[in-house]
Amino acid sequence: MSAKDDALIIRNLIQSLEANLSELDIELGEEAPLESSRLDNVERILQNAIKELKALIEPENDLP
């Protein structure tokens, strides 16, 4: 696999995670308070995963 193939796979994974995160946002309002805190944790984990994956294919501008 080339770096270009890897970047494409990562972009597809990011899109999938973002879609799942959107669905999770809808469910957050429908759950009991205890379940909501668990879903909040899952949401935070997904957001961090998306951030890390984006960093792999879109390096920050301030890096040398």
Q: Which residue ranges make up each domain of the chain? A: 3-56
Instruction: State the first-to-last Cα distance of the chain, in angstroms, to the nearest integer.
Output: 26
Q: Is pLDDT above 80 for 19?
A: yes
Distances (CA, A) of 10 to 37, 38, 57, 58: 28, 26, 8, 11
Residue 62 per-residue DSSP state: T
Does the predicted TM-score (pTM) go above 0.95?
no
Dump pLDDT digits (tens) for 20-52: 877 776 655 555 566 667 778 888 888 899 898
Q: With contact defined as beta carbons under 8 Å apart, do 28 and 36 qualify?
A: yes
Please, which pLDDT band fits residue 63 given cuts at 50, 70 and 90?
very low
Residue 37's SS3 state is helix
